[in-house]
């Protein structure tokens, strides 16, 4: 296989309506990951697409979604089974937000509503010591900003997984299972503009929760280290693919 072997992007949902003019999650992910259009194949599972045979892909990236893993929707449960089998077969996998939670669920972890509610905006990510030896996180600062927006969370990581990062709000912001599967609760594909757009879209909910949405938006900053995690996954998956 050549070095431009495509990645499969599993699209589990759409951005909030006000941000769709900027494209869907697969476009945001592809741009952030540095992939050309012909280096990504999209399976729109929420819209009824079947997942393809896993052979022939350098790796798989699972998007975020407005859905909840605990709803156990048919397309989500089918995707979880496919991801479970792919993980055990050694396929490089990277889940973002909903994708992170779906991978945890697929591998036997527990997902549910976060007891403290919503986490939103540019948050401070803190790495756990094992991250120093992780292919995606090694060498990054112990603390760096990342974009986040979620109500549910990984309450318990899968058995055998290594939790790599946390925030003040969320104890499991990233985990690795084996040596080819990662989940991240944060959004490495979000730019600051994406994050501000999400805050504005959720402003009524934030007000109802007693938060100042304008302050949340004003505190949004760039998060280049978080984006590096996604790009490192692409590089790591490609190097592993050549070895298979």
Residues assigned a catalytic role: 97, 187, 189
Query: What strands lie across the sheet with 174-177, from one edge to the other?
Result: 40-44, 7-11, 60-62, 93-96, 181-184, 174-177, 162-166, 119-127, 143-150
DSSP 8-class letter at 168: S
CB of 158 closer than 8 Å to CB of 125: no
| CA nearest to 130, candidates 99, 160, 155, 103 | 160
- Determine the angle formed by the axes of helices 74-88 and 98-106, rounding to 10 degrees: 70
How far apart, in whole angstroms, are the C-alpha atoms of residue 206 and residue 157? 28
| Residue with token string 């927006």 | 149
**Residues across the chain:** 244
3-state secondary structure (DSSP) of residue 44: strand
**CA dihedral sign of residues 140, 220, 186, 28:** negative
């Amino acid at each position: 296989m050549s070095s431009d072997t495509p990645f499969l992007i599993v699209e589990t949902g759409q951005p909030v309506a006000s941000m769709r003019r900027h494209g869907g999650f697969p476009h945001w992910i592809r741009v952030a990951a540095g992939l050309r259009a012909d280096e990504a194949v999209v399976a729109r599972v929420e819209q009824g697409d079947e997942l393809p045979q896993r052979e022939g892909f350098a790796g798989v990236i699972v998007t975020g979604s407005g859905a909840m893993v605990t709803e156990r929707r048919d397309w989500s449960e089918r995707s979880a089974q496919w991801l479970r089998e792919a993980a055990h077969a050694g396929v490089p996998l990277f889940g973002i937000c909903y994708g992170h939670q779906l991978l945890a669920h697929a591998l036997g972890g527990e997902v549910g509503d976060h007891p403290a509610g919503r986490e939103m905006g540019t948050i401070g990510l803190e790495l756990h010591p094992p991250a120093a030896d992780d292919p995606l996180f090694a060498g990054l600062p112990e603390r760096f900003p990342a974009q986040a927006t979620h109500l549910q969370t990984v309450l318990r990581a899968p058995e055998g997984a290594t939790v790599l990062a946390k925030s003040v709000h969320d104890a499991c912001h990233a985990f690795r299972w084996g040596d080819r599967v990662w989940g991240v609760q944060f959004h490495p594909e979000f730019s600051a503009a994406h994050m501000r757009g999400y805050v504005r879209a959720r402003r009524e909910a934030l007000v109802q929760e007693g938060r100042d949405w304008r302050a949340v938006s004003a505190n949004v900053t760039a998060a280049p280290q978080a984006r590096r995690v996604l790009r490192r996954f692409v590089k790591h998956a490609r190097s592993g693919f050549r070895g298979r």
